[in-house]
Amino acid sequence: MRDLPQHKPVLAGTVYNGISEAGIRLAALPEGHLLHVLGAIEPSALAAELVKAGFAESSIRKAGFRQWFVAGDEPLVPASLDTLAAALAGKAYVMDQSHGRVRIGVSGRSSRALLSKGTAVDLDPSVFPEGHSVMTMVGHLSVQIVRTGDDSFELTALRSFAESLWDDLTHMAASAEKDSV
């Protein structure tokens, strides 16, 4: 009998291994770490503290007024989180959201067409450049969208809504492909 629950990625089934339609690719991203940072700290100062705490490969995404998500593919090391929290004491608070949120990659030449079916955010590169992020709704779900490349985006949603978001994206992908034909 197991004493501790075993972690199973929410999008681990064969249905979620990735979808590659002409012009669109959906991928369940690694459930590494996701930290929510709140406070009066500039992104450059936060980036410096992240490097010191062992989160050099993580990216910082604006999540609201004085709020950021720090995302990365590597699993969270509790000692690194403790180091970061101590370094940010008095400037910002940090909360581990790693087990509460899931990231999905959307890429390909039709990725903007797909996302435009679910959100009103203008994703044109002149308005929404690489590295830009926004908290918005995709359908009925609250999602953070981050542009990670020319035709690639990362969506972060609450873990309990990840399968629903995946299903919505799958249906939007099929619809986007029909529209482009």
Of 104, 103, 102, 110, the C-alpha closest to 150 is 110
Percent above pLDDT 90 for the chain: 77
pLDDT above 70 (res 4): no
Contact 26, 166 (CB under 8 A): yes
Q: Decide if pLDDT at 98 tops 80.
A: yes
Give pLDDT, residue 23: 87
Neighbours of 13 (CB within 10 A): 12
Mean pLDDT, residues 47-59 taken together: 95
Q: What is the pLDDT of residue 175?
A: 73
Distance CA 69, CA 164 (A): 22
Q: What's the rounded Cα separation, in Å, for the pair 143 and 175?
A: 20
Confidence band of 159 (pLDDT split at 50, 70, 90) = very high
pLDDT at residue number 65: 95
How far is CA 145 from each of CA 25, 155, 159, 171, rounded to the nearest angstrom? 16, 5, 15, 18
Read off the pTM.
Answer: 0.87
Amino acid occupying residue 138: V
For residue 5, what pLDDT is reported?
A: 60
Domain 17-30+101-180: CATH superfamily is Probable tRNA modification gtpase trme; domain 1 (3.30.1360.120)
Residue ranges of the chain assigned to CATH 3.30.1360.120: 17-30+101-180
Lowest mean pLDDT among 15-19, 37-41, 96-100, 144-148: 15-19
Residues with Cβ within 8 Å of 14's Cβ and at least 6 positions away in sequence, in order, are none
Q: How far apart are CA 135 and CA 53, in angstroms?
A: 26
The whole-number pLDDT of residue 42 equals 94
Q: Is residue 64 left, alpha or beta, with left meaning phi > 0 and alpha meaning psi from -120 to 50?
A: left
CATH number for region 33-96: 3.30.70
User: For 3-12, 47-56, 106-115, 121-130, which range has the lowest pLDDT when averaged over its residues?
Assistant: 3-12
Name the segment(s) of the chain with CATH classification 3.30.70.
33-96
- Residue 1 reports pLDDT greater than 70: no
Please list, in sequence order, all residues whose beta carbon lies within 8 angstroms of the beta carbon of residue 90, skipping any fewer than 6 positions away: none
Find out whether 112 and 151 touch, Cβ atoms under 8 Å: yes
- The better pLDDT of the pair 180, 93 is held by 93
Instruction: Tell me the mean pLDDT in the region 121-132.
Output: 96
Mean pLDDT on 124-149: 96
Look at the block and give the residue holding tokens 């990670």. 148
User: What average pLDDT score do residues 138-147 get?
Assistant: 96
34 pLDDT exceeds 60?
yes
What is the average pLDDT value for the chain, to the nearest integer? 90
